[in-house]
Chains A and B, each alone.
Chain A
Amino acid sequence: MEETDVVLLWGSNARNAHPIWFHHLLKGIRNHGTRLYVIDPRRSESAQWADAWLGNHVGSDIALANAMGREIIHAGLCSRDFIANACSGFEEYAKGVEEYTLERGEELTGVPADVIRECAHAYARAEKAMICWTLGITQHHDATEAVFALINLCLLTGHIGKWGSGLNPLRGQNNVQGGGDMGAIPNRLPGFQQITDPAVRERFEKHWGVKLQPNVGWNLTEMLDAMDRGKLTSLFVIGENPAHSDADANHVEHVLAKLDHLVVQEIYMTRTAELAHVVLPTVASWCEATGTVTNSERRVQLCRKAIEPPEGTRDELWIINEIGTRLGKDLGATGPEAMWNELRVLAPHMYEGMTYERLARYDGLQWPCPSADHPGTVFLHDRLWKKGAERGPAAPFNVVHHEGPVEKPDAEYPFTLTTGRHLDAYNTGIQTSGYSSPMTRGETLDISPEDADRIGITSGIRVRVASRRGSVVVPARIDEGLRPGVVFMTLHYPDDAVTNMLTINASDLAAGTAEFKACAVSVEPETSVSPARSALGAMPASA
Chain B
Amino acid sequence: MDLKFLDAEPTAEERAAVDARLGPPDSAWDGAAERSARDLHVAIGGKKQRDRRHLLLPALQALQGRVGWISEGGFNYVCKRLTVPPAEAWGVATFYMMLSTMPRPRRVLHVCDDIACRARGASDLCDVLRREHSPALHHGFVPGRDDPPQGTKVEISQAHGAWTTAPCLGMCDVAPAALYVDAGAEPVERSLGGMTADRALRLIGGGAVPRDTLENIERADPGKAAASANQADDAPLMPFVGGLGELRLLKRVGVVDPASLESYRMHGGYKALEKAFALGPEGVIRELNEARLVGRGGAAFPTGRKWDMVRAQPEKTRYIICNADESEPGTFKDRVILTADPFAIVEALTIGAYATGARKGYVYIRGEYPLGATRIQYAIDEARRAGLLGSDVMGRNFSFDIEVRRGAGAYICGEETALFESIEGKRGEPRNKPPFPTEKGLFGKPTIVNNVETLANVLPIVLNGGAAAAKIGTPKSTGTRLFCVSGHVGRPGVYEIPMGATLGELIELAGGVAGSGKLQAALLGGAAGGFVQAADMNLRLTHEDTAAVGATLGSGVVVAFDDTVDMKDIVLRIARFFRDESCGQCVPCRVGTMRQYEALSRMLGREPLGSTDQELGLLHELGTAMRDGSICGLGQTAYSAVESAIKRLGLSPT
Contact = CB atoms under 8 A, between A and B. Distances in A.
A45 B45 CA distance: 12
Given A33-B47, A35-B47, A54 B42 contact: yes
Nearest to A49: B1
Nearest to A114: B42
Contacts of B41: 54-56, 109-112, 115, 483
A52 B48 CA distance: 10
Contacts of A48: 1-3, 43, 45
A495 to B, nearest CB: 26
Interface in A46-75: 46-56
A48 B41 CA distance: 13
A484 interface: yes
Nearest to A485: B40
A55 B42 CA distance: 6
Given A52-B42, A54-B41, A483-B40, A45 B47 contact: no
A297 interface: no
A16 B85 CA distance: 18
B43 A53 contact: yes
Given A49-B45, A50-B46, A51-B44, A112 B1 contact: no
Contact of A112 (B3, B29, B35, B42): B42
Contacts of B47: 29, 33, 35, 51
A384 B46 CA distance: 33
A489 B148 CA distance: 45
Task: Classify chain B's interface size.
Answer: 10 to 19
A216 to B, nearest CB: 41
A36 interface: yes
A450 interface: yes
B38 A45 contact: no
A43 B46 CA distance: 13
Contact of B40 (A29, A36, A55): A55
Contact of B45 (A50, A109, A115, A484): A50
Contacts of B43: 43, 47-48, 50, 52-53, 55
Contacts, number: 61
Interface in A259-276: none
A244 interface: no
A54 B44 CA distance: 9
A49 B48 CA distance: 11
A115 B41 CA distance: 10
A112 B46 contact: no
Contacts of A483: 40-41
B580 to A, nearest CB: 34
Nearest to B49: A51
B35 A450 contact: yes
Interface in B408-428: none
B2 A53 contact: no
Contact of A52 (B1, B40, B45): B45
Interface string A107-131: 0011110010000000000000000
A15 interface: yes
A52 B44 contact: yes
A45 B2 contact: yes
A36 B41 CA distance: 16
A109 B42 CA distance: 11
Nearest to A38: B43
A15 B2 contact: yes
B38 A112 contact: yes
Contacts of B28: 480
Given A15-B2, A450-B35, A49 B46 contact: yes
A421 to B, nearest CB: 14
Contact of A49 (B2, B29, B35, B40): B2
Assign chain A's interface to a size class: 20 to 34
Contacts of A49: 1-2, 45-46
A199 to B, nearest CB: 51
Nearest to A448: B40
A284 B43 CA distance: 42
**Which residue among B38, B40, B48 has the maximum number of chain A CB atoms within 10 Å of its CB?**
B40
Interface in A97-153: 109-112, 115
A449 B39 CA distance: 13
Contacts of B48: 51
Contacts of A111: 41-42
B443 to A, nearest CB: 14
Nearest to A46: B2
Contacts of A45: 2
Given A35-B47, A450-B35, A53 B1 contact: no
Interface in B1-54: 1-3, 28-29, 35, 38, 40-48
A111 B38 CA distance: 8
Nearest to A43: B43
A530 to B, nearest CB: 30
A112 B40 CA distance: 10
Nearest to B40: A483
Interface in A282-333: none
A480 B43 CA distance: 12
Nearest to B35: A450
A97 to B, nearest CB: 21
A348 B92 CA distance: 58
Interface in B505-544: none
Contact of A484 (B1, B2, B40, B42): B40
A450 B2 CA distance: 22
A450 B45 CA distance: 23
Interface in A473-488: 480, 483-484
Nearest to A57: B41
B606 to A, nearest CB: 53
Nearest to B47: A51
B45 to A, nearest CB: 6
A51 B2 contact: no
Given A33-B47, A48-B2, A53 B40 contact: no
A287 B293 CA distance: 70
Contacts of A47: 43
Given A15-B2, A45-B2, A48-B3, A53 B38 contact: no
A45 B1 CA distance: 8
A55 B28 CA distance: 14
Interface in A206-259: none
A484 B39 CA distance: 12
Interface string A472-512: 00000000100110000000000000000000000000000
B46 A36 contact: yes
A481 B46 CA distance: 16
B77 to A, nearest CB: 15
B351 to A, nearest CB: 34
Contacts of B45: 48-53
Contacts of A50: 43, 45-46
A46 B1 CA distance: 8
Q: What are the 7 tightest A-B residue pairs by CB atom distance, in nearest-first order?
A: A51-B46, A45-B2, A483-B40, A53-B43, A55-B41, A48-B2, A110-B41
Interface of B: 1-3, 28-29, 35, 38, 40-48
10 contacts: A29-B47, A43-B29, A45-B2, A48-B3, A48-B43, A53-B42, A53-B45, A54-B42, A110-B40, A111-B41
Given A50-B43, A52-B44, A480-B28, 10 more contacts: A29-B47, A48-B3, A49-B45, A51-B45, A54-B41, A55-B41, A109-B41, A112-B38, A112-B41, A115-B42
Interface of A: 15, 29, 33, 35-36, 43, 45-56, 109-112, 115, 449-450, 480, 483-484
